[in-house]
Amino acid sequence: MTGDPSSRSQPLSGQVALVTGASRGIGRAIACRLAEEGASVALFARNAAALGETGAQVEAAGGRALAIAGDVSRPDDARGAVEKTLEALGRLDILVNNAGITRDTLLLRMSDEQWSEVIDANLKGTFLFCRAAAKHFLRQRSGRIINIASVVGLTGNAGQANYAASKGGIIAFTLTLAKELGGRGIAVNAVAPGFIETEMTAAIPAEARQAAAERIPCGRFGKPEEVASVVAFLAGPGSSYIHGSVIRVDGGLAMA
């Protein structure tokens, strides 16, 4: 976050966003950026204490924050998050499905649990929140849905069959929703990050990090704020004719 929020243009003033996986990393950066743009932000994640930290940063950025603890893979939690957002903040205009986990291992070593945990959190969670929010968006005939996929959903990645399948599924799901909902004033797009500096990528061994950076034409990992900038653009009025798109934020990795 930079500068005085009150001195910046706020194209999302008066709008309300719901961001899943908002307790850290990319989700926290997205929530803070949307707040800087003028939005009130409902924050959803499992970790209630970390959500409080994100909420404090959202408020410091000039926005109003609502913390909602829950599990994205539970239908009642998804419905409840939308209902609590509407009750507490009065409306819902933007849904950002960012929550995701990894359970990396090679296919022959992958357990049923490792497969199911990732699919449930990443793909099923996106489905549940989109379904819950879409009912409201259809009634108001407007809304923005932004799903956070991954470049590995486009390219695949050894040792991430579950994660790549979940993110590839999110991309196909996004394109399908765009066709279903586009005529009702609801824009649906996806953002596909590459290697981003988060707790998840911090766990990668140094040699593997170096090898990964060498594969990226830009020569470095991205920053959460660079993903958040694209999400804020898709949430704002400047993207009114962008629909059913998958925008890579990967430093050129997918073309390498």
Q: Indicate if the pLDDT at residue 3 is higher than 60.
A: no
Q: Is 241 a catalytic residue?
A: no
Distance between CA atoms of residues 132 and 134, nearest Å: 6
pLDDT band at 2 (very low <50, low <70, confident <90, very high): very low
Q: Indicate if the pLDDT at residue 8 is higher than 60.
A: no
pLDDT in tens, 57-87: 999 999 999 999 999 999 999 999 999 999 9
pLDDT in tens, 93-102: 999 999 999 9
Distance between CA atoms of residues 76 and 217, nearest Å: 43
Averaged pLDDT of the chain = 95
Distance between CA atoms of residues 93 and 143, nearest Å: 5
pLDDT (mean) for 157-177: 97
Q: Which among 163, 195, 221, 233 is annotated as catalytic?
A: 163
